[in-house]
């Protein structure tokens, strides 16, 4: 019994080491892609990753991502924005709320694409490349989430840079940071296999008219 407990303890330690080694590897490989300001040429689009909506409005985290993306758009970092989020149910629609938020801030509707099937960071990036035919992108999300997003983008063959949307302190951030360690490990493994996203569909080049993604 004591031997079994020892073996179990060793196994737990080995797993923990692997988890944290992968976590730090993902951070190390992408940290230089996080920029304070973007002065790159020929950026195809700004990709905003969904972060939840409540009562028809973006959560604080999502609102900050949108504000950051709109600021980058107004600075001519890229001519188009992709709003990628969850619209899997009729009564839960992140992307129209995201698009309307940007329109209210002065971004033309034609320059805003909606990815209705961005159910995860991996799927948002997969679809940015395969459906929207983006090649060079700026990802906007909070910094803790940028490392994983950029790692996925790299592995999918996108040229990607990240801009942090940390405009305030967020409730429950310690829990998110812990959960993100596991998420980095999960997507590290997923990137070995590169599965297709849940939904694909027709190609919608991000160089075109964003209103083709409208569903209302």
Q: What is the mean pLDDT of residues 174-183?
A: 96
Answer yes or no: pTM beyond 0.85: yes
Domains along the chain with CATH numbers: 2-213 (3.40.50.620)
86-125 confidence digits (pLDDT tens):
998 878 999 999 999 999 999 999 999 999 999 999 999 9
* Cβ–Cβ under 8 Å, residues 129 and 137: no
The pLDDT, as a whole number, for residue 3 is: 73
85-97 confidence digits (pLDDT tens):
999 887 899 999 9
147-173 confidence digits (pLDDT tens):
999 999 999 999 999 999 999 999 999
Is the confidence at residue 10, as pLDDT, over 90? no
The pLDDT, as a whole number, for residue 153 is: 98
31-72 confidence digits (pLDDT tens):
999 999 898 889 999 999 999 999 999 999 999 999 999 999
Alpha carbons 62 and 215: distance in angstroms, whole number: 21
Bridge partners (DSSP) of residue 51 are none
Alpha carbons 86 and 81: distance in angstroms, whole number: 16
* Cβ–Cβ under 8 Å, residues 139 and 159: no
Alpha carbons 93 and 213: distance in angstroms, whole number: 13
Mean pLDDT across the chain, nearest whole number? 95
Let me know how long the chain is.
Answer: 216
Percent of the chain with pLDDT over 90: 89
18-28 confidence digits (pLDDT tens):
999 999 999 99
* Cβ–Cβ under 8 Å, residues 23 and 181: yes
Q: Which residue has the tokens 């999960």?
A: 186
């Amino acid at each position: 019994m004591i031997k079994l407990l020892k073996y179990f303890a060793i196994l737990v330690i080995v797993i923990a080491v692997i988890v944290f080694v992968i976590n730090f590897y993902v951070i190390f490989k992408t940290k230089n892609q996080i920029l304070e300001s973007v002065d790159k040429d020929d950026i195809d689009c700004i990709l905003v990753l969904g972060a939840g909506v409540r009562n028809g409005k973006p959560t604080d985290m999502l609102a900050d991502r949108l504000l950051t993306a709109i600021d980058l758009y107004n600075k001519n970092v890229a001519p188009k924005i992709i709003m990628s989020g969850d619209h899997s149910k009729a009564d839960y629609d992140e992307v129209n709320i995201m698009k309307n938020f940007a329109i209210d801030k002065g971004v033309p509707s034609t320059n805003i694409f909606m990815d209705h099937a961005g159910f995860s960071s991996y799927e948002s990036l997969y679809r940015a490349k395969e459906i929207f035919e983006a090649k060079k992108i700026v990802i906007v999300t909070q910094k803790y989430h940028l490392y994983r997003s950029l790692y996925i983008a790299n592995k999918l063959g996108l040229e990607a840079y990240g801009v942090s949307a940390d405009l305030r302190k967020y409730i429950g951030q310690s829990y998110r940071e812990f959960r993100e360690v596991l998420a980095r490990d999960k997507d590290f493994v997923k990137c070995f296999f590169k599965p297709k996203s849940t939904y694909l569909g027709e190609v919608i080049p991000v160089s075109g008219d964003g209103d083709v993604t409208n569903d209302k």
